Amino acid sequence: MNYGKRSTSKKRNALISRTSMLEKRAHVSFIRVLFTALIAVCVMIVCLGIGSFRGVIAGAPDVNDVDISPLGYATFLYDDQGTQIRQLSAPTSNRLPVSLDQIPVSLQHAVVAIEDERFYEHNGIDVRGIARAGMKAITTGNFSEGASTITQQLLKNNVFTDWTNESTQLERFTRKFQEQYLAVQIEKKYNKNVILENYLNTINLGAGSYGVQAASKKYFNKDVWDLNLSECATLAGITQNPTKFNPITNPKANSKRRKEVLDHMLDQNYISQDEYNAALNDDVYSRIQAAQLENTEEESTVYTYFEDEVTNQVISDLMNIKGYTKTQATNLLYSGGLKIMTTLDSNMQQILDEEYANPDNYPANVQYELDYALTVQSPDGKQTNYSKEMLQLYFRDQDPEFDLLFDSPEEGQQYVDQYKANILADGSTVVSERVNFAPQPQSSMTVIDQHTGYVKALIGGRGEKTASLTLNRATDTTRQPGSTFKIVSTYAPALNEKGDTLATTFMDEPYKYPDGSPVNNASRSYGGETTIRKAIQNSINVVAVKCLEQVTPALGLKYLDDFGFTTLAHGTEADKDANGNIWSDANLATALGGITKGVKNVELCAAYAAIANGGNYIKPIYYTQILDHDGNVLIENSSVSRSVIKDSTAYLLTSAMEDVVKKGTGTACQLDNMTVAGKTGTTEDYNDLWFVGYTPYYTCAVWSGYDNNEKIPEDARNFHKNLWKKVMTRIHEGLEDRDFDMPSSVEKASVCAETGLLPRSGCPTITEYFDISSLPTEYCDQHFYGSSDYDEKDYYSNEDTDADTDAAAEAIPSAAPDSTDSTDGTDTDNTDNSDDGSDNTGDDTDNSGTDDNTGGDDGSYDNSGDTGGDDTGEDPVEYYE
């Protein structure tokens, strides 16, 4: 190295030269710029990180709005005594909530030990767990080990419920970050016990069991608080993989996992060595298998007809009263943990179920109607649906009379197989198929407590119910009501506001509708002058049509609306048929039940229940309360009544319908242990048969017929009455037999049997019930004093008819007693106290020793079809209306 003077000077000049100075400055500036840029980038990254962090945090749910309680609690139905009758739940919503103090400490410790060992120490995030998982991922490349705490898992299950739809790592990172942030906030808001309780009620424990109570019931057939240590460890081991560690289907895998749980509990000092050994040696899996065989909690997945209707009503009310959409209402019903207090009387329902399951209660000749649906996929991938109607058309090409009715299910299945083979001949494959054979004739029944409107029991058909929400003939099907409609469409308005009484007479004679078609009585005969009571008793068609003509069909239709019928045609655009015709049920045929769409069983039952309830209608109620998951009243379903007819009208109709049962068309429905009033109904071609009757306690409607509207064979036209009698006899066992209460607005009076006016001597008389305001005030002018066969034209033969009339009136005592009625010296006015005016079994007799007509009956049936005779027993002549 040269350190000479000249060399040194040269170096000094190089250092201080302008060029060198510029080079050095440029180098320093570059470093400064680079450093500044690096700082700027770092600042930007930090700012972006902070911004992103704030954005992620801002996007997280507000902790004050977060609900960590589990979603999807099972809903329960209870009968009228508070007994649980059904659990309703969606596939992932059968949780049975329990409090932490009901959950064994061993189960709490088992879950904490295997899922989050530092649960009681961390603040929502397990930093050590995160570091451990990160180190393992770096060293092994395995990123599967999680570090989520119980608090985070709770948030994942109950708040971030759509995590399964994450499709990118960014979405997963965002959710995890928000999860961790909220976990810290949640731990500030709730204590550990609240968090653990919600977690244990949330977790999926396999086999459709969510939460520890549902799992305990499923696997061990006992409550969670009765589990031992071994059983607790078994449940705790399931949650990591509910399918893999299912102790029913994979006991070996669960056993291995159970040991891991017990190992963790031992290491963390939750259990002693002796407890560990005992639990490990416990043969828990044999008990699990045995529990599956004897599980008394296992219910049929098929809901009853009553339960079907309750679910429909609840969803409807949640929409109409609470404003939910149908989807929201359905989710709340099956996943909201509701408690629904129904009106069902379980004992009554059992009676209906037993009688409808008894083959002896039906005609011997049983047919089976096919209900069929098929979906196939053709070779080109197109799906096609086929129905029972299409099957019927296929076979009608071969047999025009083919009607889907078979003598046995086996016979019907042959036709199904043939039809399906034809469809699949082109290589199509079956996607889905439904085959069901319903026994025929069918029947339905409804029982209502008329005082409350509560539906106590119902059944929608005979035969095995194979699915939920299937055809309910009691609440869904509409059928023609026949003569049961005479009461509600005609006689109710006639008595209630047209001034008619049960003693009002109409001429039963050949008669025609306005279009010229005849009105036929069932007997094809006529009885002459006939009272309304007698017309009701013997279901005389001509009188009903004439009475509705007087009432007017429009008024009759208004009363039907008031009685709660929802299927009537009112002549609006909504009543237009497929051909564009607008139908209205405001016509004379409505008197006989000839209406456009028919009626529902439950609505007909409710209409008669209104009569039994003193004229006050109550819409049928299937539940009284809906409580939410926390026990708060969501809906209070109180009975709301409205007056349709006066209490006097209701009693008069009841009195007349007592005669229907005692000596009219409904004698087969007499009860040995209870007073009954009711009305039969039969359509002209015997497609529908009805009896609607009530006691002082309950109203019951029964229908029978073929689903396809076939004519009912002659040997099958009475089984519905037998069902009604058997069911109602059993329902009323132990109840006091009492009469219907007569209101103060009703009085009993004697009148002329032919005119309904106050009788004169010589008048054939009856004793009848009247509304006080309708008591007759005029005397009969059809009969001569002392002569029962007086011809009015002969009496009024002179020109001064008014004077003759006045003279005749003066000659007759004003009280007009029937002095010829009794021979016992006590009953001179046909008001014997021993006769209630409705039956013919009292001691009030005339000189001939026959009935004194105080029940509106002359000792024999009129020409409407009864040949008379036995007024107290079964009518020997069959009636069809």
Domain boundaries, the chain: 5-59, 94-294, 366-440, 484-731
Model pLDDT, residue 828: 33
Question: Where residue 729 falls among pLDDT bands split at 50, 70, 90?
Answer: very high
Question: Where residue 823 falls among pLDDT bands split at 50, 70, 90?
Answer: very low
- CA angle, 66 then 69 then 74, to 5°: 135
Token duo for residue 530: 């006939």
For tokens 């409904």, the residue is: 666
- CA angle, 143 then 148 then 153, to 5°: 125
Model pLDDT, residue 33: 64
Alpha-carbon distance of 718 to 768, in angstroms, equals 31
CB 158 within 8 A of CB 70: yes
691: CB partners within 8 A, 6+ apart:
666, 669, 678, 679, 680, 681, 701, 702, 720, 721, 724
Question: Where residue 847 falls among pLDDT bands split at 50, 70, 90?
Answer: very low
Q: For residue 441, say if its preceding peptide bond is cis, omega within 30 degrees of 0.
A: yes
Model pLDDT, residue 36: 67
Per DSSP, the three-state class of 43 is helix
> pTM higher than 0.85 for the full model?
no
Q: What are the tens digits of pLDDT across the range 173-218? A: 666 767 777 878 888 889 999 999 999 998 989 888 889 999 999 9
**What average pLDDT score do residues 123-148 get?**
65
Q: What are the tens digits of pLDDT across the range 144-154? A: 445 689 888 88
Q: Identify each DSSP E strand in 499-596 by its residue range.
A: 505-508, 511-512, 518-519, 528-531
Single-letter amino acid code for the residue at 376 = V
Assess if CATH 3.40.710.10 describes domain 484-731.
Answer: yes
Among the listed residues 283, 267, 298, the one whose alpha carbon sits nearest the alpha carbon of residue 234: 283
Residue range 94-294, CATH number = 1.10.3810.10
Question: Where residue 789 falls among pLDDT bands split at 50, 70, 90?
Answer: very low
Model pLDDT, residue 872: 33
Token duo for residue 195: 């968090």
The conformation of residue 818, written as its DSSP 8-state character, comes to: -
Exposed, middle or buried, 570 (CB in 10 Å: 0-12/13-18/19+)?
Answer: middle
Model pLDDT, residue 576: 84
- 94-294 and 484-731 agree in CATH topology: no
Alpha-carbon distance of 500 to 801, in angstroms, equals 28
Model pLDDT, residue 15: 53
- In DSSP notation, 688-737 reads EEEEEEE-SS-EEEEEEE-TT-PPPPGGGSSHHHHHHHHHHHHHTTTSPP
Cα-only R_g, the chain: 42
Q: What are the tens digits of pLDDT across the range 318-356? A: 999 999 988 889 889 988 899 999 999 999 999 999 999
Per DSSP, the three-state class of 350 is helix
The least confident of 85-99, 155-169, 751-765 is: 155-169
Model pLDDT, residue 785: 53
Q: What are the tens digits of pLDDT across the range 41-100? A: 666 665 555 555 455 555 556 667 667 777 778 899 999 999 999 988 776 677 888 999
Alpha-carbon distance of 26 to 35, in angstroms, equals 14
Single-letter amino acid code for the residue at 702 = V
The conformation of residue 874, written as its DSSP 8-state character, comes to: -
Among the listed residues 439, 403, 450, 262, the one whose alpha carbon sits nearest the alpha carbon of residue 708: 403
CB 507 within 8 A of CB 481: no
CB 331 within 8 A of CB 409: no
pLDDT value at 481 more than 90: yes
Token duo for residue 171: 């979405």
- In DSSP notation, 611-649 reads HHTTTEEE--BSEEEEE-TTS-EEEE----EEE-S-HHH
Per DSSP, the three-state class of 663 is helix
Per DSSP, the three-state class of 342 is strand
Model pLDDT, residue 462: 96
